[in-house]
Amino acid sequence: MAPKAKKEAPAPPKAEAKAKALKAKKAKIRMSPIFRRPKTLRLRRQPKYPRKSAPRRNKLDHYAIIKFPLTTESAMKKIEDNNTLVFIVDAVKKLYDIDVAKVNTLIRPDEEKKAYVQLTPDYDALDVANKIGII
């Protein structure tokens, strides 16, 4: 049998503490006179229950945007002469499936928005007006 190796006795606790005190960390050199707090960990919120029961419904769809076509004398003249339909408010392309060259809008005195919708040359405003039911 091989002789047992002697275990080294651990240093007494006072000596250990003294060694740690002597081996203290150097102070970090500060380059700025302003102290800024360190950036800490910011966790995402994890709510216990949803604050809204259902997602909000979009109230501004195509049907809400275009309210009605105007059928005044001046609107009829625009249809015949300028290939332009006159609506109270806009989203025409999706609603009536027509190509639009240009849209001019204005706010009327009764606080409604009027849209002058000029169609591309391949669409005739009279035909579209008949299809919609203005004329």
Is residue 12 over pLDDT 70? Answer: no
- For the segment 14-27, the average pLDDT, to the nearest whole number, is 77
Question: What topology does CATH give the domain 64-132?
Answer: Alpha-Beta Plaits (3.30.70)
Dump pLDDT digits (tens) for 42-64: 999 999 999 989 888 877 666 66
Q: Rounded CA gap, 117 and 85, in Å? A: 5
Amino acid in the structure at residue 78: K
Q: What is the pLDDT of residue 61?
A: 67
pTM exceeding 0.75: no
Q: Which of 32-36, 45-49, 79-83 has the lowest mean pLDDT?
A: 79-83
Q: What is the pLDDT of residue 39?
A: 95
Q: Which of 9-13, 45-49, 81-85, 109-113 has the lowest mean pLDDT?
A: 9-13
Q: What is the pLDDT of residue 25?
A: 76
Q: Which of 7-11, 26-30, 123-127 has the lowest mean pLDDT?
A: 7-11
- For the segment 61-78, the average pLDDT, to the nearest whole number, is 73
Amino acid in the structure at residue 93: K
Contacts of 87 (CB under 8 A, 6+ apart): 66, 67, 68, 69, 70, 114, 115, 117
Sign, Cα dihedral of 46, 49, 52, 55: positive
Q: Which residue(s) pair with 117 in the sheet?
A: 85, 103
φ, ψ of residue 21 in degrees (nearest 5): -65, -40
Q: What is the pLDDT of residue 10?
A: 62
CB atoms within 10 A of CB 132: 16
Q: If you ran DSSP here, which 8-state letter would residue 29 be given?
A: P
Coil vs helix vs strand at 64: helix
